[in-house]
Amino acid sequence: MITISYYNMLSLPDVSCYFQLEYLNSKSDKPVAAGDKVLFLMLTRDEKEGHISAEDVYPIATRGVVESIENEWALVRTTSRVALDGIQPDGKHFQAQLRTRPEISDLDLEEQQERFQKMRAAMLDALEGTQWLMGARNYIMRWSNMNELITFTSSMLQISSEEKFAILAEDSVARRAENMEKAFYESLELFKVNREAQSAQKENN
């Protein structure tokens, strides 16, 4: 299994993302092929701070699969959340028993998509007039659901690592969506306030 650990971000189910094949190979004990399983482990601290032990891994992770490989790129799609039992270090990787985390489907799919589209529109509106919009618009428009939006913006969310884990750990789709929206809109407001402050400072100079 390919094991990818990360810190202060989020990896949620139902997300498609391209990885460099060389990178995935560095996270696997054998050459990566289509169909290989991937495990995304959320860490309580940055690997740059030193050796990571089993105690540094949050007890819920995200499972995925390599869907296809083309040239030097691999398409990975996350599929489900899993509880980790008996986490043990194994060289560069971790071994654990995986149990699929229950998913409480208490939010209508159509409503999920409506709320996602409002979030995406709000993000594009906030980026209007900035240097990032031109390069980011096509990328943002490829996102297809709320989980993708939050996964790909998670490093910019102004919430703690513990709060990000709480989003991943939430079994209720409705409550998870509420938590994601709250973190997203609050972070977006902070971005707009900071941008306005920078603009005002430039005008005064």
- For tokens 């994601």, the residue is 180
**pLDDT reading at 25 higher than 70:** yes
CA distance 55 to 162: 14
Q: What is the pTM of this model?
A: 0.91
Residue 50, pLDDT score = 64
Number of neighbouring beta carbons within 10 Å of residue 19: 20
Q: Does 144 score more than 90 pLDDT?
A: yes
Contact 127, 136 (CB under 8 A): yes
**Integer CA distances (angstroms), 76 to 19, 21, 66, in order:** 7, 11, 4
**pLDDT of res. 47:** 78
Q: What is the C-alpha to C-alpha distance for residues 178 and 126, in angstroms, rounded to an integer?
A: 20
Q: Are 98 and 80 in contact (CB under 8 A)?
A: no
CA dihedral 151, 128, 121, 149 (to 10 degrees): 0
